[in-house]
Amino acid sequence: MVNAAHELLISHHTPDNMPKQSRKRLRVRGKVQRNDRGEVKYMQGDTARGALHQQTFYGAIERDGEIRYVVRKSLDQLLPTDVDKIVDETVKRKVQEAIEAFGFKEAMDPQKHTVWMNKDKNVPIRKVRILTGVKNPILLKPHRDVSVKEYKRYYHVVNDGNYCMAIYEGRDRQGRLKRTFEIVNKLEAARYFKRSADRESRPDLVPLSDVNGYSLKYLLKTGTMVLFYENSPDELYECSVGELAKRLYKVVGMAQDGRVQFLFHQEARDQKAVTAECGMGISVFDARHPAPKLRIRVSNFKMFVEGYDFELTVTGEVKFKR
């Protein structure tokens, strides 16, 4: 029974809901509308499914010639480590003085104490701007009132996840195999699918070749299954079911720096337990000792990809395409 479990290939189904459109019955004054044949009329929308970005809006400021991103917080949301990150020096000094006089917890509680910007004029400090570590936010939409400073013209948000990673492959002038990649975040994907309900009329989500002329090899999405090899792809054709079971992983994350996280297909523990054992993931695949999680750069990929090189049936059978 134990051996059978080790040889079991788990087929993971991760539906891609991003291209799907919302659909509901057409109503006029609450009454469902029908066509000449008596069939119910439906409306199709372009509603994206899933969170496209994190909910916090960030502002942009210039400091020492560098664009920095800030977030506005009320005093009762501040952490002790946030105080030194307050943007306005005068506001920071007022907050620090209140903390020294009353202690952090009481000073930041608006029910117990008011931090004054100018007590004589009855001007309290209720919110402060905090410097953040955000580096490359997404430009969500323009502000209604256009600033003279270009970096202040948009709402900035942080990416909530990537939709896919395009992998390009080719050879340089010396004949060496090279790979490049392009990340498509969820917001970009939603805008792409929104442009037209007709798939045939849409341009490609990613270019079919990169700036070097390398051809698109495959697209990786969350849930894509892969089979790793150590030296040559040919070794996969010679593997038994038990050996293939040690090489099967699922894509669970894609980073802007080109590193992809893979989770072992039989791994059922929660992410805290997996992270405690191997951190963000092991950087090298070992067929003899398959790690619970891998984190590998695009340039170091040695794998077959589901849908391109093989298919995995619902019963866990691997069918190679070539």
Q: What is the pLDDT of residues 96-111, one digit of tens each?
A: 999 999 999 998 998 8
The region of weakest confidence among 43-47, 54-58, 236-240, 295-299 is 43-47
Q: Which residue has the tokens 């560098």?
A: 66
**Cα–Cα distance, 33 to 26 (Å, whole number):** 6
Higher pLDDT, residue 26 or 132: 132
DSSP calls for 27-76: EETTEEPB-TTSPBPEEE-----S--B-S--BEEEEETTEEEEEEEEEGG
- Which residues fall within 8 angstroms of residue 293, CB to CB, at 6 or more apart? 252, 261, 262, 263, 264, 267, 274, 275, 278, 280, 281, 282
Residue with tokens 């007590």: 119
Mean pLDDT of the chain: 85
pLDDT at 20: 61
What mean pLDDT is predicted for residues 203-222?
Answer: 89
Inter-residue long-range contacts of 73-78, CB under 8 Å, 24+ positions, other chains counted = 73/127, 73/128, 73/129, 73/130, 74/110, 74/126, 74/127, 75/107, 75/108, 75/110, 75/115, 75/125, 75/126, 75/127, 75/128, 76/108, 76/109, 76/110, 78/108, 78/128, 78/130
pLDDT band at 296 (very low <50, low <70, confident <90, very high): very high
Backbone phi and psi for residue 223, each to the nearest 5 degrees, phi listed first: 100, -10
| Cα atoms in the 13 Å half-sphere on the side-chain side of 104 | 7
Residues in CB range of 66: below 8 A, 6 or more apart: none
Name the residue among 274, 240, 310 with its Cα closest to residue 3. 240
- Between 54 and 183, where is the model more confident? 183
pTM of the model: 0.70
Domain limits of the chain? 53-159, 162-220, 222-320
Q: In this prediction, what percent of the chain has a pLDDT beyond 70?
A: 86
Rounded alpha-carbon distances, angstroms, from residue 223 to 260, 261, 295: 12, 11, 15
